[in-house]
Amino acid sequence: MKAAIITIGDEILIGQIVDTNSAWISDKMTQAGFEIEESVSIGDNADQIKDTISDVFKRVDVILMTGGLGPTKDDITKKTLCEYFNTSLVFDNSVLENIESFFGKGKVNELTKNQAYVPENCTVIQNRVGTAPITWFDCDDKVLVSMPGVPYEMRFVMENEIIPRLKDRYEIDAYLKKVLIIGGYSESGLAMYLTDFENSLPEGFGLAYLPSLGIVKLRLFVKGEHRRAQFDEQVDKLKTLLENNILSEEDAPLEKILGGILLEKGLTISTAESCTGGNIAHLITSIAGSSRYFKGSVVSYANETKINILHVSSENIERDGAVSESVVREMAENVAKLIRTDCAISTSGIAGPDGGTSEKPVGTVWIATHYNGNTIAQLYNRTMGRHREANITRATTYAMIQLIEMIKGRL
């Protein structure tokens, strides 16, 4: 069974919002064993919606559509679907009851009440976390599902209604995959190292590389539960080859991986940030439950803050400069003492695009990590550049990797 995703909304095309729905749906459908053939974003235009559906249905069995189901005039999806499937809108009391469960009986205005009108020949699926109903169309052995564009509403119905129903309708093969988060390699360097492994993979297996600043996500995959033993064998081979460079076997951002390690070992962490400006603390605290291990941060951007709050030696700053090994060591050790944590990360660097010198060009970053009474400071400059945002992101990534490696005993 092949599926496609159509996201609807002028706000996507003009860049007002980012289409996160397509990526999420693709991931969940692939995990469930379905094959996503294509994904397309289109505007709130009736002719374009109908033409796109007709075109995409030539290649797929199922269309998953999001957007355009709100109560305002620019939300035209339901009306357009009526035109496409040659039907009309009818009032559905069960949808009104669902809407009233959110606002209270008698408190629904006429505009919102109009959401209770649904195409006559569809199957209605109630939106348990919103007001716009989900509509399911069966036509000539094809399925079209129209869902709200609000991400949390779409995700709830996909997981609890749509994917289970699709599994009941279609026979699917399991999608087997293993994701490894790899540090210490560029994408090309990793591909070269794994050339022999990749060339020897059995037919049907694939190895995908997803690089980002500082890490590479490596995905080994094959379809079919009957290939489980063969798959496990290849996973073991891959893990043996990359043993010393595997940061995690969990397909998750570094901040979640680091948090999991801290929780597992019962450790706490603080940060002292200069060039990263609090970005490390921001990412760590973006993970639910991080209060169990993250205790606080000092964004010591100015030298006075380093000296007065973190008690960094003014002599070290004067002699070595703020971007130096001696300063980041003190920052990490002193923030751990100040906030009373087991671990600490500190950063000091020249993010750019200005401020560099011949001795310390833009992209020069010192990172220190403190754990178990020890401190390691490392200079990062060859992998940096002149772009400020990229340097901050790289420094943040390298800092978390450095602490992970230190806790694992690799540094």
What are 110-167's pLDDT values in tens digits?
A: 888 889 999 999 999 999 999 999 999 998 899 999 999 999 999 999 999 999 999 9
Q: Please report the pLDDT score of residue 127 as a whole number.
A: 95
Return the pLDDT at 337.
98
Angle 373-375-380 from CA coordinates, rounded to 5°: 160
pLDDT given for residue 231 in this prediction: 98
Q: What are the pLDDT digits (tens) for 369-402?
A: 999 999 999 999 876 777 899 899 999 999 999 9
- The confidence score (pLDDT) of residue 184 equals 87
* pLDDT tens digits, one per residue of 250-269: 999 999 999 999 999 999 99
Tell me what pLDDT residue 329 has: 98
For residue 192, the model assigns a pLDDT of 97
What pLDDT is stored for residue 383 in this prediction?
A: 67
CB 138 within 8 A of CB 123: yes
Average pLDDT, integer, range 167-171: 92
CA distance 123 to 128: 16
Name the DSSP class of 160: I
Q: pTM to 2 decimals?
A: 0.78
What CATH number does domain 175-248 carry, 3.30.559.10, 3.30.70.2860, 3.30.420.40, 1.10.8.60? 3.30.70.2860
Q: Based on C-alpha coordinates, what's the Rg of the chain?
A: 26
Report how far residue 274's alpha carbon sits from residue 216's, in angstroms, rounded to the nearest whole number: 26
pLDDT in tens, 280-332: 999 999 999 999 999 999 999 999 999 999 999 999 999 999 999 999 999 99
Instruction: Tell me the pLDDT band of 74, cut-offs 50, 70 and 90.
Output: confident
User: Which class would CATH give 254-407?
Assistant: alpha beta
Whole-number pLDDT of residue 194: 98
Per-residue pLDDT at 75 exceeds 90: no
Q: Does domain 2-169 have CATH number 3.40.980.10?
A: yes
* Contact criterion met (CB below 8 Å) for 223 and 256: no
- Residue 87, pLDDT above cutoff 90: yes
- Counting residues of the chain whose pLDDT is more than 70, the rounded percentage is 100
Mean pLDDT of the chain: 94
Nearest to 163 by CA among 300, 289, 299, 24: 24
Q: Residue 100: is its pLDDT beyond 70?
A: yes
Q: Please determine, for residue 347, whether its predicted confidence score (pLDDT) is greater than 70.
A: yes
Lowest mean pLDDT among 41-50, 84-93, 379-388: 379-388
Going by their DSSP bridges, the two strands 269-273 and 343-349 should be labelled as: parallel
Domain residue spans of the chain: 2-169, 175-248, 254-407
| Res. 1 pLDDT band, cuts 50 70 90 | confident
Instruction: Give the CA distances from residue 88 to residues 136, 145, 303, in Å, rounded to whole numbers and listed in that order.
Output: 15, 17, 69
Averaged pLDDT for residues 44-55: 97
